[in-house]
Structure 1
């Protein structure tokens, strides 16, 4: 588990806060011309962050990055700081997930004899992997370089949206070769003999400078297809295909079968740098070739690199912060960078894409298709961040969720990856993302079509415990894995789907779903004051330990959480919810207890439950809204204290600087939004609860040329409490603000001080809304 510093939580509860950090205030940063200079892609590549350092564009199809390992939980992205050697450079990577896949089309530049297997990380001499010089390793938005010390090759990587561009400088006047390993990919490391499961693989030479191929991968996203076209800056001398590590005929021009590899030899490799460009497609080889030609017609590596950097500079400039400490600016812009990596583009330049039905489709003009929706994680903060600071992109990303639900044989998306539903995590939180977008007037969604795509799941399906949920009002843990968490997640999805139904005019459906969204009450045990697992006969599970993940070895009761964390999983209907605890004071006391409880966890707890402050677990998503729940209790000053503590203790400017998996931008989006002083506890409501703004001034481009300025006057490490707020010059006594207000642009000013102002946000009329928009 990543260790993070913690503050005295009892002092925070008493309002003493973070004054102890004042003496350690870092020096202010000097102005720089480029926001890219603040981004450190190595943050999250150590610990349990699971990020990659390679080259990518915002939401791009290609993530070209070094692979240090393809066999381990902490190497889900293909890279980890603890590994000391590089296998090669592949073109697709997941950013911060807890499950592993991708690593498509590995290119290995090499000198010396041809080696066909990578060897193990601890034994780099046994295969084609090479040690590397950490001092030579550099990463910045859209660019990566490293010195491979065993092979003495300098490798550089950059990208366009659908093409990866490599530049390899071999030892002067020496021969070398490229190995393309089509078998390489992630492995299921928990198995005794892990392997990468590949079918329908093929490779084919086109002339003396192009290699094309395809494969179907059966890993986390079982049965996904990937196609590629690889072109070289100068012809190879000869090529050799291998199948099952046995050479094929020397004059073979194509290969099919298992464990395919190709070696391209260059007797004069060291004469001049060798460039390799690789286009990808999810549709066919023709699409990969077309993407390659359209995006990188020439060989201007430095030009492509400059263009990638300019693209990132524009994306990062959607939020500008002023007068920030150097370290905070680095964490913030790296967080914004990580927030803009997924979902990922999954349509070709001609608009074609492989749908969830494994058929070819074409997006409407002006639209794109996307993949890599980590919805269980990202609905909470990432998508709300995009609606505020990237509204045009957010509209594009959201629009694809409706045809995705229509095309998928499994219905509304859970965790889709490259045309395949992985089914990972629970709920169908695409409904939340769509309800949020619809409520914010984003994306021009067709309300009737959207509701039609979700109604069957809402009322007719009986998958994943829905039959129990509809019949009993809860999901029994002795019948369905993680039933307690599913009940709570399904209740929130009912809340979101009620809004979708109401927007479509299906008022009876909306009323039924609104009532069903209160099923969270059926999971609450008044005698223990916890959300507690129940059996099919209605009885509570005994014995009950609130720190336990489950009560049986067969499966867990909760999804990456325990009863402490799941008790606060409700994000809607919060004023009725707090009555379960006896009212606002009862909920406030329960929140205090969460943050001050022992952090000791029982044996066998999943590593996802990390970043513990008491039993609050910032390293995983179920807790991300919890510090903001004090605002609903009339104790907003405690939200301010806890949020500032989490900003400072859970994020560091170093490789193990994330307290948990990045999860496709969610972990970083929490930091970005919270540092701005805003948080969407319930994204469907379109309201942002105030936290504790970190920077004296931030400016956000909210679309159509409008600017939102957020100022925190007097903010300092020991001045993190809100004294008062103004909006466009007028006093603002609410501890929240609506998206519709912020999206028009304006000036939000916080006056900060050393001591809490308990009166701010205390009045019932000043607290955040938590009633359905259509009621």
Structure 2
């Protein structure tokens, strides 16, 4: 990893926001991911983020740490490089002859002259002796450019490829425009309207059209247009730009500018943005001597609080309103987007339910609106339906929120949407073998509901993974049905939640693809990535039975054999079969190089596996491995993540694990216990109560739990409940250098499973 010393200021930060390193995860590329992040300048869940750009226009890898030149600072909505961006446009500053082309205008820069915070970004553009800064609001931002003495100082607004327009109004020192670039998931009328106001008169106003040639025209429309405004500057003169955007209208963009920036100075906007991060990050206060671990924690928490982003705005009446990427119309109410539930149902949304139930309620309201406007719940939204990843994981998110007390959304309509996803084929175009494929609903739903699994031999890829994920989602539906009094549905979806059993092959001891006639996938290689599974193999997906770990234990032959199988994940060499992909995808490489056997923490399907020891009588192994993964795979440096950090899930694993517990099973209100990382953590719970996590004797060597108590009462279970944590108090761990193998070892101590433990 890159040196922490090279990233940190000499002084210890006094604020939690300044603990964050937004460059964590930026030393990535398509072949090897250490996060695949970019240094987002935003407020928590803000509709817009801003990022410096080192890459080519249209590339998902907009900013990479090892780049040498910067060519712009763009408004971005990119959730991950694999999804790419939409509604992006960039600002840049130059001196001397105007350079339009992105690569031609790029300036050398150094990380030594770069300051990156959640609430601001500052960089020295060496080729132009100019400093560029940006600080954000929800739907707006302020730029500050500090120029040298020059008769030819310029600020460019680049509309990017994909359709754009520009209007320059020199009299009012204003530029307005639209951008329509996107990577899918939008209707034909999709536009991002922006307005930029300058505090300095223009000496020259120019624009360019699709021919990329400068013209004196004040308006341009085309596939890729832009504007250049020029100034005569004194040495050290600053030019400020107030900017905002809207997906609704030009008028709404101006409203966003006036309400979010108004007459504030750059410094005032920056102070407000920092205060928002201090408020949200500051809900968790850490007292621990390890500064590096604290930096990593807050950097991970910063990433978690970026997505899903707001896709609603505040109308003239002061109420939320949104343009819908599902039907192209404007509707009242909340909408959030830029999220892949295949990732984030696991720990991000449980964190919101625990710490931000009011925000989670808005997100659930947004999901209901998505269903009303588009007819389906999304599984990957960016900004509308995207045909990426698998599963029916919106059910987990909704049911988990409801089970943990999140209210204020139309639960009946949400339930109706969950049932539609689970029962109705989409009727969209089919693949060559006649199977329905779409970005909505469950692919292979008819097969699944007929046989209890998606067959291997009917032309639907990743079929075993789909079956396992549908099974978990069906458990969540059963929990929601029970909570809503839908008694007729409870037994049906509980039975469907047992469908994982149909893919367990007792001969191999792994989950395995199954043909429609009941025979097994042949030939079979549990090391084969893809094919029947999604970005993993049988070693990873065989543990994807979060709803019934005890049932899986029984299938594998009991606790001893189950633990032996868990142990073998760590000790089996990282061999693999990449023939399905025809190349070694980065997820495979990331597993191979970290020397953790078959454990592939860089991707989401196996991230919960560590905690399954809690069900099998050996929780001390969960304690060891949780601390080991935190220590070896995470750090607040550019190569500080173990794989893709899409939408905060890999960060959420760290945040929960560092506190000492993790949400394995959805819609149960339970958290499996691991090993707390810090000596003392104080959480401001949304109930108004304070939860103190006190880990006595904690140290890098003392990773094992000796005892646990909550408010003075011993905890002999290997789980904690949502309700108990929400009421605050003191959760005390006593830690030591060797395992207490008696603690949590009984079957009665294990967390929830659909299948009751034998003898209980």
Structure 2 equivalent of residue 204 of structure 1: 167
Deviation at 1:670, TM superposition (A): 0.8
Q: Distance in 2 between matches of 1:254 and 1:275?
A: 22
Structure 2 equivalent of residue 317 of structure 1: 282
Give 1:462-611 correspondences, 5 Å limit: 463=436, 464-478=443-457, 479-550=459-530, 556-603=531-578, 604-609=583-588, 610-611=590-591
Give the counterpart of 1:134 among 111, 116, 122.
111
Change (3 A) 1:736 1:102: same
Q: Report if the CA contact (8 A) 2:87-2:180 is conserved.
A: no
Unmatched 5+ residue regions in structure 1?
A: 5-28, 120-126, 185-197, 551-555
Instruction: Tell me if 1:451 matches 2:415.
Output: yes
Deviation at 1:394, TM superposition (A): 2.4
Q: Report if the CA contact (8 A) 1:50-1:76 is conserved.
A: no
Q: Report if the CA contact (8 A) 1:45-1:53 is conserved.
A: yes
Q: Distance in 2 between matches of 1:269 and 1:520?
A: 70
SS for the counterpart of 1:178 is: strand
Change (3 A) 1:53 1:103: farther
Q: Report if the CA contact (8 A) 1:294-1:349 is conserved.
A: no
Q: Which moved more, 1:525-534 or 1:204-213?
A: 204-213
Structure 2 equivalent of residue 768 of structure 1: 751
Q: Report if the CA contact (8 A) 1:450-1:500 is conserved.
A: no
SS for the counterpart of 1:150 is: helix
Deviation at 1:31, TM superposition (A): 7.5
Deviation at 1:182, TM superposition (A): 1.0
Structure 2 equivalent of residue 357 of structure 1: 326
SS for the counterpart of 1:422 is: coil
Give 1:405-424 correspondences, 5 Å limit: 405-409=371-375, 411-418=376-383, 420-424=384-388
Give 1:69-468 correspondences, 5 Å limit: 69-70=55-56, 76=60, 78-96=62-80, 98-102=82-86, 104-119=88-103, 127-184=104-161, 198-199=162-163, 201-208=164-171, 209-223=173-187, 224-247=190-213, 250=216, 252-268=217-233, 272-298=237-263, 300-350=265-315, 351-364=320-333, 368-409=334-375, 411-418=376-383, 420-461=384-425, 463=436, 464-468=443-447
Q: Distance in 1 between matches of 2:60 and 2:710?
A: 44
Q: Distance in 2 between matches of 1:335 and 1:772?
A: 35
SS for the counterpart of 1:380 is: coil
Q: Report if the CA contact (8 A) 2:51-2:74 is conserved.
A: yes
Deviation at 1:57, TM superposition (A): 0.7
Q: Report if the CA contact (8 A) 1:45-1:656 is conserved.
A: yes
Structure 1 equivalent of residue 431 of structure 2: none
Structure 2 equivalent of residue 624 of structure 1: 607
Deviation at 1:257, TM superposition (A): 1.9
TM-score in terms of structure 2 length:
0.90
Deviation at 1:30, TM superposition (A): 9.2
Q: Distance in 1 between matches of 2:701 and 2:735?
A: 10
Structure 1 equivalent of residue 25 of structure 2: 44
Q: Report if the CA contact (8 A) 2:199-2:241 is conserved.
A: yes
Q: Deviations over 1:689-737 (max 9, x none)?
A: 1100011111111113211111111111111111111111011111111
Q: Distance in 1 between matches of 2:606 and 2:56?
A: 30
Q: Distance in 2 between matches of 1:714 and 1:567?
A: 36
Structure 2 equivalent of residue 24 of structure 1: none
Structure 2 equivalent of residue 192 of structure 1: none
TM-score in terms of structure 1 length:
0.88
Q: Report if the CA contact (8 A) 2:57-2:160 is conserved.
A: no
Q: Distance in 2 between matches of 1:352 and 1:204?
A: 26
Q: Distance in 2 between matches of 1:31 and 1:655?
A: 19
Deviation at 1:112, TM superposition (A): 2.1
Structure 2 equivalent of residue 635 of structure 1: 618
SS for the counterpart of 1:616 is: coil
Q: Distance in 2 between matches of 1:752 and 1:339?
A: 28
Q: Report if the CA contact (8 A) 2:209-2:224 is conserved.
A: yes
Q: Which moved more, 1:422-431 or 1:94-103?
A: 94-103
Structure 1 equivalent of residue 7 of structure 2: none
Q: Distance in 2 between matches of 1:232 and 1:31?
A: 36
Q: Distance in 2 between matches of 1:505 and 1:627?
A: 34
Tell me the C-alpha RMSD between the 2 structures.
2.3
Structure 1 equivalent of residue 430 of structure 2: none
Q: Report if the CA contact (8 A) 1:391-1:702 is conserved.
A: no
SS for the counterpart of 1:353 is: strand
Deviation at 1:33, TM superposition (A): 3.3
Structure 2 equivalent of residue 67 of structure 1: 53
Q: Distance in 2 between matches of 1:71 and 1:268?
A: 29
Q: Report if the CA contact (8 A) 1:173-1:271 is conserved.
A: no
Deviation at 1:247, TM superposition (A): 4.3
